[in-house]
Structures are given as structure tokens and as C-alpha cells.
């Protein structure tokens, strides 16, 4: 073998070796990327997204539009967003009943036609809270009608029942192997609506009940969501007792607290590992009230920890949207988010705007969740 041929063979061997090493490294990189994408996808698949909206009352001044367009009419601008969540939650402000037997005379007595139950389900709602100041407007019979219709429609419910034990019973949903419990309490008048050991009504938001209920159920589920009907109508800032109740709930194991009754948006607080939306404002509400803005809160949780949260601002001014809440865009969305940022300044909330949505600490929350 000549020297030149030997040198050529050696050089060819080196070239072949380099090619093989390159191929090996390329395959390793591809395998790593595929594995990383699969892991990310798997993590995302395991995450549970909970969407919450405020007060829902399908009736009243909206009757003309409902009779003309059907009971699904109020949800047509938002149903795609609702259905895109794993669990959608609303406060059902009025009983589903045909009853004419009013429990007690009051300024506003509300009820919703039974046919609305299937429309609420079709819109994408999975669970509703009943602890409020109107669910008992037609007494125990009206509440029973409501519960029966919700059960028939496949909508879970919590916060009211034929006795106190039933009113305090959580609704539990199992999504992607994650068990999520919902509890609801009323902290508004009339007191006659509160359930007792022997009478129907709502779950009153008593400290000892809230603490015991959350501690008991948190042993058996991965996520606990607590709803409060509290404050006073049109109050823009949460009252001190609301803050105490929200902190009590999270201190005892709640992950997410949502509130309603003011019909307007209140502040948002990141407290410890939880989030508090003090008032989501109106959603689909059949009156020409002063309320003009509401929000949809979307919270994503993985392994029982919050990893992201966002706010979708809504136009709920019924003189403009005709009882169809509409997501705001552009300056309208930014204005609502700025208002929330201002109201929430006492809590040190970090809220940014992206594509018409308010983002709450996305990066920091995800990093914190991953570090645990």
C-alpha cells in the first residue's frame, strides 16, 4: 500500500467518523426535543382551566329578546370562550321555576323560566353557585324546582339546599384525573333565606362553617374553589370583612376565591398561593342596571397549584349589548384593566395587558409552581 493511498484511507475514515458523530448528535438532539415537547404537552394536558363569571339572571327586562331568540341568546358572544375551559362556573342569581308563590315581599323578586336550564348547560357551564339573595325568592318549592332542573341538565350546584347540611355540601368534579371542589356562601340579606338544620335556604358564610368545610373537603380533592355572595351593590372596593373571609378561605386550603353581588368589578388579590376575585361583576343579567362592565376570570392550575390567570373584560351595559355580554377590545379592554389595576393597588397586584386580556403574574406564577 502506497503512503498516499494509506493517507487517503485514514482521511476517509476520519470523514466517515465525523459524519457518524454528526448523525448521532443530530438524532440525540431530535430525541431530546421530541421528549421535551411530549413532556410539555403532557403537562399542559394535565392542567385544568377554570373559568368563572358573575351574576346570571335570564329573565326580567331581557324577556323580549329571550322569547324572540331563545334562552341561548345571552351566551352567543361568549359561548366559545366558556366551552374552551375545562370547568365553567357561574352564580345563578334567580331560581328556575314557574312558581307564583313568593316567599317574602321585597323590592326585587327574580325568577327564570325552566327552559333556561338547558341553555345554561349548552353554553358550557358545568357548575353554578346558589348562595345568593334571590335563589329563595320563591321559597323551598322554587329551590327544589331549580335543583331538579339543574340535575336533569347535568349542571352541578352548591350553596343552597333543603337543609343546612345540603346547602354546605360541595359540588365535586373530576377533570383529567383532578378532583375540584366548589363551595358557596351568602353573606347578604335577607337572613330569612339562610338554611337551618330543618329548613331550606342558602349556606350562610359563617367563619366556623367556612373553615370546617374547606378543611374537610381539601383532604379528598386537589383544588378547592370558594364562592362568596357579599359586599353591597355597586360598591367598587372590597370591604374589610370580605378580605378577612377570602384570607380565611385560602389559609384553610382554598386555591381560588370568587365573589359577586355588587354587580360591578371589585379588586383582585394574589394572596399566598391563591387568587381572590372580589367581584366579577354582572354577566348575563336581565336588567338595565348601572352596571356596564364585568369580567371573565380564567385560572389554570396544574398539580393543585395556580400556574396562570387572566381576565377577559366584558361590556355588560344592556343598553348597548342588549343582554348579550360581549368581550371588550382595544381601548375599552385596556380601560377596564386599568380600573382593576387601580382598585387592586392596595394588594400590590401586578397586572399586564396583552391582546385585550389582563394577565396576572403569568411568568412568576408558573416559575413559582414549578419550583415547588
Question: Same domain, yes or no, for 29 and 52?
Answer: no
- CB of 344 closer than 8 Å to CB of 358: no
Question: Same domain, yes or no, for 28 and 159?
Answer: no
Question: Same domain, yes or no, for 22 and 59?
Answer: no
Question: Same domain, yes or no, for 327 and 208?
Answer: yes
Q: What is the pLDDT of residue 355?
A: 86
The beta-carbon contacts of 109-113 under 8 Å, at least 24 apart in sequence, are 109/134, 109/137, 109/138, 110/57, 110/59, 110/60, 110/134, 110/137, 111/59, 111/137, 111/138, 111/142, 112/57, 112/58, 112/59, 113/58, 113/59, 113/66, 113/71
Give the containing element (helix H, strand E) for 189.
Answer: none
* Stronger pLDDT, 20 or 266, i.e. the higher one: 266
How far apart are the C-alpha atoms of 170 and 214, rounded to whole Å? 9
Question: Same domain, yes or no, for 11 and 148?
Answer: no
pLDDT tens figures, 98-108 = 999 999 989 99
Q: What is the pLDDT of residue 304?
A: 87
Question: Same domain, yes or no, for 98 and 145?
Answer: yes
Question: Same domain, yes or no, for 4 and 57?
Answer: no
Question: Same domain, yes or no, for 39 and 131?
Answer: no
Number of domains in the chain: 2
Question: Same domain, yes or no, for 183 and 37?
Answer: no
Question: Same domain, yes or no, for 213 and 273?
Answer: yes
pLDDT tens figures, 176-202 = 999 999 999 999 999 999 999 999 999
Which residues span the domain enclosing 161?
47-371
Question: Same domain, yes or no, for 136 and 214?
Answer: yes
Question: Which value, to the nearest 10 degrees, does the dihedral of the CA atoms of residues 323, 123, 254, 226 take?
Answer: 50
pLDDT tens figures, 216-262 = 999 999 999 999 999 999 999 999 999 999 999 999 999 999 999 99
Q: Which three cell numbers stand for residue 340?
A: 382593576
Question: Same domain, yes or no, for 29 and 178?
Answer: no
Confidence of residue 15 (pLDDT cuts 50, 70, 90): low
Percent above pLDDT 90 for the chain? 79
Residue with cell 383532604: 219
Amino acid at each position: 500500500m502506497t503512503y498516499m493511498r494509506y493517507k487517503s484511507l485514514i482521511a476517509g475514515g476520519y470523514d466517515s467518523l465525523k459524519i457518524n458523530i454528526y448523525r448521532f448528535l443530530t438524532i440525540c438532539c431530535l430525541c431530546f426535543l421530541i421528549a421535551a415537547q411530549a413532556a410539555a404537552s403532557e403537562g399542559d394536558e394535565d392542567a385544568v382551566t377554570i373559568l368563572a363569571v358573575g351574576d346570571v339572571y335570564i329573565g326580567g327586562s331581557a324577556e323580549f329578546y329571550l322569547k324572540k331568540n331563545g334562552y341561548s341568546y345571552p351566551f352567543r358572544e361568549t359561548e366559545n370562550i366558556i366551552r374552551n375551559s375545562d370547568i365553567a362556573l357561574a352564580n345563578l342569581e334567580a331560581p328556575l321555576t314557574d312558581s307564583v308563590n313568593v316567599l317574602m315581599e321585597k323590592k326585587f323578586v327574580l325568577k327564570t323560566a325552566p327552559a333556561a336550564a338547558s341553555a345554561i348547560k349548552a353554553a358550557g357551564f358545568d357548575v353554578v353557585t346558589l348562595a345568593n339573595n334571590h335563589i329563595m325568592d320563591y321559597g323551598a318549592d322554587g329551590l327544589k324546582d331549580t335543583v331538579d332542573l339543574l340535575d336533569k341538565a347535568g349542571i352541578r350546584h352548591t350553596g343552597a339546599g333543603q337543609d343546612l347540611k345540603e346547602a354546605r355540601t360541595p359540588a365535586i368534579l373530576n377533570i383529567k384525573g383532578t378532583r375540584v371542589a366548589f363551595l358557596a356562601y351568602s353573606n347578604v340579606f335577607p337572613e330569612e333565606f339562610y338554611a337551618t338544620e330543618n329548613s331550606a335556604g342558602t349556606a350562610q358564610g359563617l367563619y366556623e362553617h367556612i373553615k370546617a368545610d374547606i378543611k374537610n373537603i381539601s383532604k379528598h380533592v386537589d383544588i378547592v374553589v370558594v364562592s362568596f355572595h357579599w359586599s353591597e351593590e355597586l360598591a367598587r372596593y372590597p370591604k374589610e370583612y370580605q378580605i378577612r373571609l377570602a384570607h380565611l378561605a385560602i389559609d384553610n386550603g382554598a386555591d381560588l376565591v370568587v365573589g359577586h353581588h355588587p354587580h360591578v368589578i371589585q379588586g383582585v388579590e394574589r394572596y399566598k398561593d391563591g387568587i381572590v376575585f372580589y367581584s366579577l361583576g354582572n354577566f348575563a343579567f336581565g336588567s338595565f342596571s348601572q352596571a356596564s362592565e364585568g369580567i371573565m376570570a380564567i385560572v389554570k392550575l396544574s398539580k393543585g397549584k395556580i400556574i396562570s390567570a387572566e381576565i377577559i373584560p366584558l361590556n355588560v351595559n344592556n343598553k348597548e349589548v342588549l343582554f348579550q355580554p360581549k368581550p371588550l377590545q382595544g381601548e375599552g379592554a385596556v380601560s377596564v384593566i386599568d380600573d382593576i389595576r387601580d382598585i387592586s393597588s392596595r394588594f400590590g397586584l401586578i397586572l399586564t395587558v396583552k391582546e385585550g386580556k389582563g394577565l396576572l403574574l403569568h411568568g412568576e406564577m408558573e416559575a413559582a409552581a414549578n419550583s415547588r
